[in-house]
Structure formats: C-alpha cells, structure tokens
C-alpha cells in the first residue's frame, strides 16, 4: 500500500510541476483574440481559441428565451449564419475580470459584451454577461466553456427591408 501511495504522490507532483502555467496576460490575450475575431467576423479565428470539445451556453431572456447549448462547430455555424445576413454590427467588451487558479492550470474571465446588429428591417441591441473558463490544452490556453447570459435584447424595426 505504501508503494502505491508513493507512486501516486510522485505522479501528482510531476504532473503539477511540469508544463506551462496560465497567467493573467495569457488570458487577456486569448480574450482579446476572441474580441477582435468577432469584430472582423472571422469565425475560423474565433473558434481557434476554443478547445475542440468546448461547450458554449447562451441564456436568452423572455418567454421565447431559454438556455441553448452548442458545440464549437454549432457555435461557428450560428455566427456565420448571422454574419451572412447582417448589414452592420458592433461588438464591444467592458469590465473584464480575470482570475487565475492558484495552480496556474485554469482561469476564469468575466466581462460584459454589448452588441448591435443591423439586419434587413431590424436593429437588435443586446447586453450580455459572459464567463469563459480557460485551461491549458496541449500547453496552449484555450476556452473550455463559454457562458453568455443575455440580460437585455431589444429589437427595433428600421422600416427598411
């Protein structure tokens, strides 16, 4: 039994000491990549910042709202479909807070995103609280889950189709 405990302790200490540690600068750079890719409508660049098996959850307000769960490919397809039909958009992030775990293996980034999308006949504005969980995936910081809680969504007819 003592040999097993020694082996487990040794493996745990090697795993804990090896490899890169996440820093606040790593997380800020990753989130900056997401923001700039969204502003450029670069879906490939945006999803490159996610782990392949990441989960994206979007909570919408109101009676037609609810929680949507998406895989990275589903999220990419949704963004591309929206970007294909919109006439104009803005995407701004504020109040970013980053917390890196004491062991340096994971982090959480929280912020507020404001979006405006001009569609044929409609202008939509939203404000969302976003939370990204980040971890090292093969030594590279990647988002492993993203949760967006849409707090407000206002659609205004523009009269132009």
What CATH number does residue 122 fall under? 3.10.450.50
pLDDT at 159: 77
**Residue 117 domain flag:** yes
**Residue 5 domain flag:** no
Q: What is the pTM of this model?
A: 0.81
CB environment 28-45: b (16+ within 10 A), e (fewer): eebbebbbebbeebebee
Domain limits for position 131:
22-157
pLDDT at 161: 55
pLDDT at 2: 46
Its sign, for the CA torsion 43, 97, 134, 56, is negative
**Residue 140 domain flag:** yes
41 phi, psi to nearest 5 deg: 60, 45
Beta strand pairing status for 122-137 and 106-119? antiparallel
**Residue 43 domain flag:** yes
Q: CB neighbours (10 Å) of residue 130? A: 19
Beta bridge partners of 60: 66
**Residue 56 domain flag:** yes
pLDDT at 60: 87
pLDDT at 20: 87
Residue-wise DSSP of 62-121? STT-EEEEEEHHHHHHHHHHHHHH-SEEEEEEEEEEEEE-TTSSEEEEEEEEEEEEEETT
Segment-wise mean pLDDT, segments of 10 residues, the chain, 161 residues: 45 51 95 93 96 95 83 95 89 95 95 93 94 95 96 86 55
Count of structural domains, the chain:
1
pLDDT at 13: 42
């Amino acid at each position: 039994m003592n040999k097993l405990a020694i082996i487990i302790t040794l493996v745990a200490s090697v795993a804990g000491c090896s490899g890169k540690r996440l820093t606040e600068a790593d997380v800020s750079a990753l989130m900056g990549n997401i923001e700039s890719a969204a502003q450029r409508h670069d879906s490939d660049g945006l999803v490159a910042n996610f782990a392949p098996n990441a989960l994206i959850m979007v909570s919408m307000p109101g009676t037609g709202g609810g929680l949507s769960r998406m895989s990275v490919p589903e999220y990419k397809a949704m963004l591309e479909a929206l970007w294909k039909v919109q006439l104009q958009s803005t995407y701004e992030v504020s109040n970013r807070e980053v917390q890196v775990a004491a062991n340096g293996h994971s982090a959480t980034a929280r912020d507020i995103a404001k979006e405006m999308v001009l569609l044929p006949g409609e202008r939509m504005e939203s404000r969302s609280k976003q939370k990204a969980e980040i971890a090292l995936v093969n030594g590279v910081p990647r988002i492993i889950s993203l949760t967006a809680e849409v707090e407000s969504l206002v659609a205004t007819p523009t009269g132009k189709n």
